[in-house]
């Protein structure tokens, strides 16, 4: 039996509607949508135009604002570099990015330092929300672009994009929003008073890997420096043949994800509560990172009293992670958790559990049982972690879990099984 899949923030299973749309496009035969001198090329162009319109409708923008890319990473690169370079022409050479942004945003900004830009991190609160006072204080007439994500990919914490946009706009800077984790979880934060640019990823919403989009505001017109040169596709901003089949799958998946947003959020909230209640009732010590902030349910960051890698090794029947997929490549402690005040050792004891629309109550009960067995068996790792100084203060509702975590860390070696009973039945709803 395959593991219970609890890593939807890394990638979502391909939706049947996306598969069907892709197969229909592939079965239509070979054609380049930019080859407008014959019938197959014109048919492919019409299909691409229709899918672009579907994407725009799902986002709430106009089709001409949809720039198709190879994924959210490329879209973020295009936005951060393109907005910054366009801003430099107006004498602006500062780039401000939230301390918990995705690696591709951080690295895009870091590359700009080679061109003389000043890149400055914006602090977050202990719950991971961008500090608006610090943002307002940092902005001046030299700031070119601010980057703030809609939903954090490790904690589910939501940034107040409308408020950030208002502050940024008053300073004359552009705002880029990485919204890869938003569709299906919260309304996509695109509105007349929202960000300047916004990035999306198909595979995060159950579409195919290999395509995404940058939403580029046209009213007022947005200056953006091209990063990929060639045949002038995508309004001259992203050269390369657009993959029609991938665009079809992306459009179908995004439309379905957006349509189910309210139901999915309620579903994820119930399952998240079931998971946390099951662990709490079993006496498992944990801290739910970001629990005191506005957040989207279903992306859950839990700091445990055992190293995350050892817990995951002890749970081969669960597909979960120790954080962002890109972080496992970087092989260091989560920068998101460090920015929230955790020490590196506490970050290394943190797992991410992310749910999807097909996650069931039975999956959650299975996960609770597996985690209880893993955390109850102290042979899977070090028994005690007395240095808890890097742990930020838990919200009031979590004081019990925080106290239990500290008690377990200090007493685990003396009594390996203390406070970790097995579950006698499925977790209560």
Q: In terms of domains, do 192 and 237 share one?
A: yes
**Region 229-240: what's the mean pLDDT?**
87
Q: In terms of domains, do 54 and 30 share one?
A: yes
Q: Give the count of domains, the chain.
A: 2
- Is 358 part of a structural domain of the chain? yes
Q: In terms of domains, do 340 and 391 share one?
A: yes
Q: What is the CATH number of the domain that holds 99?
A: 3.40.640.10
- pLDDT score at 329: 55
Q: In terms of domains, do 243 and 313 share one?
A: no
Residue recorded with tokens 């279903």? 298
Q: In terms of domains, do 26 and 139 share one?
A: yes
From 61, 326, 343, 380, active-site residue: 326
- Is 423 part of a structural domain of the chain? no
Whether 389 has a pLDDT exceeding 80, the answer reads no
Give just the sign of the alpha carbon dihedral 269, 271, 277, 279. Answer: negative
- Is 4 part of a structural domain of the chain? no
Task: Output the six-digit token pair for 108.
Answer: 């895009």
- pLDDT score at 417: 31
- Is 59 part of a structural domain of the chain? yes
| Nearest in space to 337 (alpha carbons), one of 303, 306, 297 | 303
Dist. CA 201–CA 249, nearest whole Å: 12
- Is 428 part of a structural domain of the chain? no
- pLDDT score at 232: 86
Q: In terms of domains, do 234 and 320 share one?
A: no
- Is 181 part of a structural domain of the chain? yes
% of the chain beyond a pLDDT of 90: 80
Chain segment 127-184, per-residue pLDDT in tens? 999 999 999 999 999 999 999 999 999 999 999 999 999 999 999 999 999 999 999 9
The mean of the pLDDT values for the chain is 88
Among candidate residues 199, 225, 259, the one where a domain is terminated: 259
pTM comes to 0.87
Measured CA distances, 217 to 80, 190, 199, 304 (Å): 14, 9, 12, 43
Whether 403 has a pLDDT exceeding 50, the answer reads no
Dist. CA 386–CA 184, nearest whole Å: 40
Q: Which domain holds residue 351?
A: 262-411
Chain segment 2-29, per-residue pLDDT in tens? 999 999 999 999 999 999 999 999 999 9
Q: What is the CATH number of the domain that holds 274?
A: 3.90.1150.10
Chain segment 295-310, per-residue pLDDT in tens? 999 999 999 999 999 9
Task: Output the six-digit token pair for 369.
Answer: 């049982």
Q: In terms of domains, do 197 and 274 share one?
A: no
Q: In terms of domains, do 276 and 217 share one?
A: no
Q: In terms of domains, do 105 and 213 share one?
A: yes
Among candidate residues 227, 259, 291, the one where a domain is terminated: 259
- pLDDT score at 236: 82
- pLDDT score at 167: 98
Higher-pLDDT residue of 404 and 300 is 300
Q: In terms of domains, do 215 and 79 share one?
A: yes
Dist. CA 214–CA 179, nearest whole Å: 10
Among candidate residues 234, 259, 284, the one where a domain is terminated: 259
- Is 27 part of a structural domain of the chain? yes
326 is a catalytic site residue: yes
Higher-pLDDT residue of 39 and 232 is 39
Q: In terms of domains, do 113 and 231 share one?
A: yes
- Is 285 part of a structural domain of the chain? yes
Q: In terms of domains, do 203 and 313 share one?
A: no
């Amino acid at each position: 039996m395959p593991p219970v899949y609890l890593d939807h923030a890394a990638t979502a299973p391909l939706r049947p509607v996306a598969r069907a749309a892709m197969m229909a496009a592939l079965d239509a035969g070979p054609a380049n949508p930019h080859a407008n001198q014959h019938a197959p090329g014109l048919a492919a162009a019409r299909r691409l135009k229709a899918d672009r319109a579907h994407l725009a409708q799902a986002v709430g923008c106009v089709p001409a604002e949809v720039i198709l890319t190879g994924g959210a990473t490329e879209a973020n690169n295009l936005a951060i570099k393109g907005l910054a370079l366009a801003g430099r022409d107006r004498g602006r050479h500062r780039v401000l990015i939230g301390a918990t942004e995705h690696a591709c945003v951080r690295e895009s900004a870091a590359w700009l330092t080679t061109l003389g830009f000043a890149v400055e991190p914006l602090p977050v609160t202990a719950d991971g929300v961008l500090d608006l006072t610090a943002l307002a204080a940092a902005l001046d007439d030299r700031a070119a672009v601010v980057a703030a994500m809609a939903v954090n990919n490790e904690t589910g914490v939501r940034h107040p994009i409308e408020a950030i946009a208002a502050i940024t706009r008053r300073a004359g800077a552009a705002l880029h929003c990485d919204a890869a984790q938003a569709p299906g979880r919260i309304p996509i934060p695109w509105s007349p008073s929202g960000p300047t640019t916004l990035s999306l990823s198909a595979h995060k919403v159950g579409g195919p890997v290999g395509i995404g989009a940058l939403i580029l505001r046209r009213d007022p017109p947005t200056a953006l420096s091209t990063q990929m040169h060639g045949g002038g596709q995508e309004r001259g901003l992203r050269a390369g043949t657009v993959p029609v089949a991938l665009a079809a799958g992306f459009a179908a998946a995004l439309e379905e994800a957006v349509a189910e947003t309210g139901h999915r959020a309620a579903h994820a909230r119930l399952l998240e509560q079931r998971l946390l209640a099951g662990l709490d009732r079993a006496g498992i010590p944990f801290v739910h990172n970001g629990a005191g902030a506005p957040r989207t349910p279903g992306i859950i960051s839990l700091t445990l009293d055992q190293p995350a890698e050892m817990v995951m090794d002890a749970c081969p029947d669960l597909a979960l992670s120790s954080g962002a997929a890109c972080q496992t490549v970087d092989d260091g402690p989560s920068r998101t958790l460090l920015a929230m005040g955790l020490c590196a050792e506490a970050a290394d004891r943190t797992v991410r559990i992310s749910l999807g629309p097909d996650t069931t109550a039975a999956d959650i009960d299975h996960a609770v049982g597996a985690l209880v067995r893993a955390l109850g068996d102290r042979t899977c790792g070090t028994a005690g972690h007395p240095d808890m100084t890097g742990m930020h203060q838990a919200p009031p509702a979590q004081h019990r879990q925080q106290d239990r975590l500290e008690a377990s860390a200090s007493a685990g070696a003396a009594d390996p099984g203390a406070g970790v009973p097995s579950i006698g039945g499925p977790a209560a709803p």
